[in-house]
């Protein structure tokens, strides 16, 4: 007889062990997911709820610590799921059970549907940033002609970008607004030229304007990256539904000119719960307009209306976004909070960017928007080998 501990993340190790015994892939994934360890913090709970929670947790083999009106509850997802059943819960646990059911993570999506077809999410997908603006915070003006932009697109693909995210309006603090006509003139010809030169590459347009998105989709884009989460232009979500585009809904607050400032960086309920709630609202807007769920990706908006400390808190709890049931994208590339953490100037933040992307992969992110894909691609290749999905 030999007993060997399963090293690494329990769910990944269990899945691999089951695969070695001939279990099928989907069954391995669902069984292993049930062993994922989760912890929840309950506050404002009545004494009767806490008493019933202790009793139920003991019966299910869950760990619970309680105080005057709070509790910390921890255990495998499968056992927590057994607690999240209002129809079998005693009266004092009805509200808690319903809340826990909503808070448990959904099964991680396997594909993302776009206007060009499905993109598999079993390995990291890199979005290469192609800014066509003269005033972008990082590389403004460097790719201002179609020839320069197409050449840069080829470089990004060679570095590992599976998607090119093309933008014609800067969101940096103090940037001047761009008219729809000017933004269309910047992005549509470049998207058309890239589609002709790199027909196998998927393109995304970074815009909050439905008119710009329509022109970009006409030119060959397959994805709309709306940093307002379909807040600013009421026609955006309906357009994406009509064209069956992939949609990236990013968390932000305010208009384009103030999104990246700290003017609305107040999160009295905590940055993580409020970001999750507001992304849930964005998903609701898109779904009501007809966007299919499997076409939606969510982005917590790192660096947008968040202090360095809030960005770190958001990254630390990133796995909580899985409760939304949609793939998660992060865009930490060269952001100011990385400068605050490392002391590095703008041009020296690629290693920090890669480090955040690796941490994001471990927490459940599947898509990564970066300026220089090469270093991040290599870092994520190591992460994928260690933590496959």
- Residue positions annotated with a catalytic role: 335, 369
Which of 282, 367, 284, 281 minimizes the C-alpha distance to 318? 367
User: CB–CB of 46/92 below 8 Å?
Assistant: yes
Q: What are the residues whose beta carbons fall under 8 Å from the beta carbon of 375, sequence distance 6 or more?
A: 350, 351, 353, 354
Tokens for 23, please give them: 């279990």
Distance CA 144, CA 297 (A): 29
Cα-Cα-Cα-Cα dihedral sign, residues 213, 214, 220, 224: positive
Q: What's the rounded Cα separation, in Å, for the pair 184 and 121?
A: 30
Tokens 């940055």 label which residue? 271
The 3-state DSSP class for residue 2 equals coil
- How remote is the C-alpha of 282 from its chain's centroid? 13
Please answer whether residues 114 and 127 qualify as being in contact, where contact means their C-beta atoms are separated by less than 8 angstroms. Answer: no
- Are the C-beta atoms of 380 and 361 separated by less than 8 Å? yes
Count Cβ neighbours within 10 Å for each residue of 42-53 and write b for 16 or more, e otherwise: beebeeebbebb
Of 335, 167, 175, 168, the residue nearest 257 (C-alpha): 175
User: Which of 238, 320, 309, 239 shows the shortest CA–CA distance to 275?
Assistant: 320
């Amino acid at each position: 007889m030999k007993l060997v501990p399963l090293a690494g993340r329990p769910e990944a190790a269990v899945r691999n062990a089951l695969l070695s015994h001939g279990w099928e892939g989907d069954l391995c994934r669902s069984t292993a997911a049930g062993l994922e360890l989760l912890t929840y913090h309950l506050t404002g709970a009545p004494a009767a709820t806490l008493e019933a929670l202790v009793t139920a947790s003991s019966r299910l083999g869950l760990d619970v610590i309680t105080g005057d009106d709070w509790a910390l509850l921890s255990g495998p997802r499968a056992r927590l799921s057994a607690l999240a059943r209002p129809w079998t819960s005693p009266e004092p646990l009805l509200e808690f059970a319903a809340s826990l059911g909503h808070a448990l993570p959904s099964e991680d999506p396997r594909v993302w549907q776009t206007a060009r077809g499905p993109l598999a999410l079993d390995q990291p997908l890199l979005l290469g940033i192609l800014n066509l603006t003269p005033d972008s915070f990082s590389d403004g003006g460097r790719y201002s002609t179609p020839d320069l932009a197409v050449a840069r697109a080829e470089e990004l693909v060679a570095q590992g970008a599976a998607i090119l995210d093309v933008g014609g309006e800067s969101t940096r603090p103090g940037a001047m607004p761009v008219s729809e006509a000017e933004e269309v003139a910047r992005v549509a010809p470049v998207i058309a030229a890239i589609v002709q030169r790199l027909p196998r590459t998927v393109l995304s347009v970074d815009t909050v304007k439905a008119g710009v998105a329509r022109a970009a989709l006409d030119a060959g884009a397959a994805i709309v990256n709306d940093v307002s989460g379909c807040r600013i232009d009421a026609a955006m979500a309906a357009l994406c539904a009509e064209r069956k585009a992939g949609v990236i809904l990013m968390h932000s607050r305010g208009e384009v000119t103030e999104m990246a400032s700290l003017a609305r960086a107040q999160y009295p309920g905590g940055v993580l719960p409020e970001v999750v709630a507001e992304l849930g609202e964005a998903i609701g807007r898109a779904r009501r307009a007809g966007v299919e769920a499997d076409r939606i990706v969510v982005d917590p908006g790192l660096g947008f209306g968040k202090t360095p400390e809030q960005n770190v808190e958001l990254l630390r709890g990133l796995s909580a976004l899985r409760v939304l049931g949609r793939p998660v994208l992060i865009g930490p590339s060269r952001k100011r909070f990385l400068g605050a953490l490392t002391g590095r100037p703008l041009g020296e933040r690629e290693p920090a960017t890669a480090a955040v992307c690796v941490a994001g992969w471990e927490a459940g992110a599947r898509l990564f928007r970066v300026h220089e894909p090469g270093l991040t691609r290599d870092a994520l290749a190591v992460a994928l080998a260690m933590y496959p999905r």
